[in-house]
Structure 1
């Protein structure tokens, strides 16, 4: 079957129409940013960075005021890690993160003391823990190391 094209002057309408339909289809199918992580939206609360290594855990802040916070946990270690926050009637955690992965944990914190740790295997006992105080004035963490290596020399 022969294909016929309508002409308008020297231009072919058929190929132009096909290109327009193709472009519209690509726009409709696109739009993703390629990030399939479950990190959520950091705009849901004040950001607190948590760096997890083998076997240390460091928070960017250890004293906060009550409110909504998004803990951005990054596994900079070579083992799987996760972040758990427990205290003042709250217990929540991220999924287990492979090396190089990050996840967000957004929670509402009330006044009180919270334990922040890695719940994977015995990582907490190996030094992957910190204390978080909520109430009073929010301030950055000035500690250079909030964990110990538990004698493992990492």
Structure 2
């Protein structure tokens, strides 16, 4: 009797686990997402560093927190990139890249969600920001330069007072 009861509990536990896995797979979709540009489905969550999605494609992590964007690299050459945007904040965020190659953005990401944005960057300057609400105006933006030296930031011409 005890053996049969234990076996029934194990079978019920396995069935419940399988059902939970099936139901979790049904929850994906683009609920309220919008935007254009090339995009792919979100990669599975993992603590391992992201791998290159294809030969010749450079993968860049874009960590979106509440009103800051941190990119895993700061120098860029013209070419193909896969920006892995992860919302590590407490508010909805998205990633938009705007410059010589056009405008590309992810869907709006709920906290904890991520999405890969594939972009072919050409030489020039790009603005990288969160297009949700007024997040860009709250400082959730950065700039990257592709194929050249980064532009100087906050430089003031020297004043020699006529000497």
Q: TM-score range by the shorter chain?
A: 0.5 to 0.7
Number of the residue aligned with 2:89 = 77
Radius of gyration: which is bigger? Answer: 1
Number of the residue aligned with 2:42 = 39
The CA distance in 1 between the partners of 2:126 and 2:93, in whole Å, is 19
- Indicate how the Cα distance of structure 1 residues 89 and 69 shifts in structure 2: closer, same or farther if over 3 A, else same: closer
Of residues 62, 67, 70, the one that matches 1:58 is 70
Q: Select the structure with the greater relative contact order (CA < 8 A; seq sep ≥ 6).
A: 1
Structure 1 runs (4+) greater than 6 angstroms displaced: none
Q: When the two structures are superposed, what TM-score results if normalisation uses the length of structure 1? A: 0.62
SS in 2 for 1:71: strand
- Indicate how the Cα distance of structure 1 residues 48 and 104 shifts in structure 2: closer, same or farther if over 3 A, else same: same
Report deviation, 1:88: 0.8
Number of the residue aligned with 1:116 = 128
Q: How large is the Cα RMSD of the aligned pairs?
A: 2.4
Q: When the two structures are superposed, what TM-score results if normalisation uses the length of structure 2? A: 0.59
The size of the alignment, in residue pairs, is 105
Unaligned runs of 5+ in 2: 1-24, 30-40, 44-50, 150-163
Identify, as 1 or 2, the structure richer in strand.
1
